[in-house]
Amino acid sequence: MQKIEHIGIAVKDIEKGNAIYAKLLGKGPYKMEEVTSENVLTSFFKVGENKIELLAATSEDSAIHKFLEKNREGIHHIAFAVDDIHAEMERLRQEGFRLLNEEPKRGADNKLICFVHPKTTNGVLVELCQDI
Ligand code: CMX
């Protein structure tokens, strides 16, 4: 693992979230992107070297919709940058973590991604991301 790549925050309304985080961070998102495979609308903010990703559901099938049925808006996942996602997935499998994808999939912001089940990481949904 190289560093924390971003922190994902679940919001009900992306525009309201953008307005709040633009005020908080002093600048607006550098990108907004819909990820149809995940049924989410995302927006990304830069904070120095780090990033914040806001996530809103685009359908009831979305993991974000399910999350917000059970929880308040707030931190949804922590993403770590990796050099070689296949090698890191294999390492985590060997260590007994439950991966939520058999193979890396394409995520927002030009990344290959894989999620690790929060039941195996002390209640935190973890994402691995590798630049494409
Ligand atoms: N953080 C911590 N715990 C979480 C969680 C989250 N984000 N989402 C769910 N959980 C917990 C639930 O509270 C529940 O715990 P309890 O059993 O103690 O109540 C447990 O995980 C549920 O597990 P589950 O029944 O196996 O699964 P769910 O249907 O609730 O789905 C999860 C949870 C993590 C497997 C699913 O959300 C998932 O596959 N996530 C990965 C994909 C994703 O999150 N996509 C959206 C972001 C995409 C992007 O960043 O681009």
Which atom number of ligand 1 is nearest to the Cα of residue 8? Answer: 50
Query: Is residue 125 pLDDT above 90, yes or no?
Result: yes
Which atom number of ligand 1 is nearest to the Cα of residue 77? Answer: 7
Q: Which residues line ligand 1 (CB under 6 A)?
A: 8, 35, 38, 40, 42, 55, 63-64, 66-67, 70, 76-77, 100, 107-108, 115, 117-118, 123-125
Read off the pLDDT band of 21 (50, 70, 90). very high
* pLDDT recorded at residue 64: 98
Query: Ligand 1 centre from 61 Cα, in Å?
Result: 12
* Cross-sheet strand order for the sheet of 126-131: 31-35, 40-47, 50-57, 3-10, 74-81, 126-131, 111-116, 105-107
105, 113 contact by CB (below 8 A): yes
- Atom 10 (ligand 1) nearest CA: 118
Convert the pLDDT of each residue in 47-103 to its tens digit.
998 999 999 999 999 999 999 999 999 999 999 999 999 999 999 999 999 999 999
* pLDDT recorded at residue 108: 86
- Atom 40 (ligand 1) nearest CA: 63
Collapsing DSSP states into helix, strand and coil, what is residue 36?
Answer: helix
* pLDDT recorded at residue 56: 98
